[in-house]
Amino acid sequence: MSISTEAELAGMQKISECVALVLKAMREHCKPGMSTLELDEFGGQMLTEMGAKSAPKLTYNFPGYTCISVNNEVAHGIPSAERILQNGDLINIDVSAELGGYWADNGGSFIVGGAGSDEYQKLVEASKSILQTAISQIRGGVKIADIGKLIETQAAKLGYTIIKNLAGHGVGLSLHEEPHDILNYYDRYNTGRFRKNSTVAVETFISTKSTIANTGTDGWTLTGNRGGYVAQHEHTILVTGGEPVILTAANGIWD
């Protein structure tokens, strides 16, 4: 959306802080031996207490308040009582919600228990640092394709691929708005530019092997076409004429 009033900015700040604090709390609450359903219900309760509604449920009737993906799952993992988290698992939590007519989105990957394989740790750190670099370059007038090129180039330098069929997107008055194509790679046909005073969700999908995310038999869970693992990190930001404002900074994914 394009922010044109103080009320709109306040609305986006409120929902962005909400999803950020829920993501942070879920990361801190996550422990080995816990089911992903238990973790999801913890997050769902927080959203309810804040007066917010789960965006995946509201928009797509998703079977969970949040998306929780583990190990080889790329995104859109369904919370389950049968999925018990183990020390060293690679987990991704994506939290998006609506509050007062405004929507925000954020997510992050991390290792259950705080320490895992070097492969997981390096992947998580790469995803975080690449997102930070990409967001720092976003301002009004910058080509969306150039940010995709930056993400793709940075990933390749570190020995990683990117997922090509998942993307960041505009957000604000709905979960997904224009632009729908904030890709992790260079698309020479995309001539769009970031607009000053707009709100967008920018996310990385950094992979050890895969380039495409395929939908599983449950109709939701995505896995990579070549196997391996994927780390995702995401912030909702306000595009300005200079440094962007990180509206979901409270999630602490860069801490």
* Cα–Cα distances in angstroms (integers) from residue 249 to residues 35, 80, 107, 111, in the given order: 27, 28, 11, 20
Q: Is 181 annotated among the ligand-binding residues?
A: no
Q: What Rg value do the Cα atoms of the chain yield, rounded?
A: 17
Contact 15, 103 (CB under 8 A): yes
* Cα–Cα distances in angstroms (integers) from residue 11 to residues 101, 132, 199, in the given order: 8, 24, 12
**15: three-class secondary structure by DSSP:** helix
Q: Is 203 annotated among the ligand-binding residues?
A: yes
Report the candidate in 219, 182, 179, 173 with the shortest Cα–Cα distance to residue 59.
173
Please state, in angstroms and rounded to a whole number, the distance separating the CA atoms of residues 88 and 112. Answer: 5
Q: Within 10 Å of residue 243's Cβ, how many Cβ atoms?
A: 12
Q: Is 218 annotated among the ligand-binding residues?
A: no
What is the maximal distance between C-alpha atoms in the chain? 48
Q: Is 105 annotated among the ligand-binding residues?
A: yes
Q: Is 235 annotated among the ligand-binding residues?
A: no
Q: Is 76 annotated among the ligand-binding residues?
A: yes
What is the CA angle 205-189-161, rounded to 5? 25
Q: Is 98 annotated among the ligand-binding residues?
A: no
Give the residue ranges of the annotated binding site for substrate.
Answer: 76, 176
Known binding positions: 76, 94, 105, 169, 176, 203, 234
| Binding residue numbers for a divalent metal cation | 94, 105, 169, 203, 234
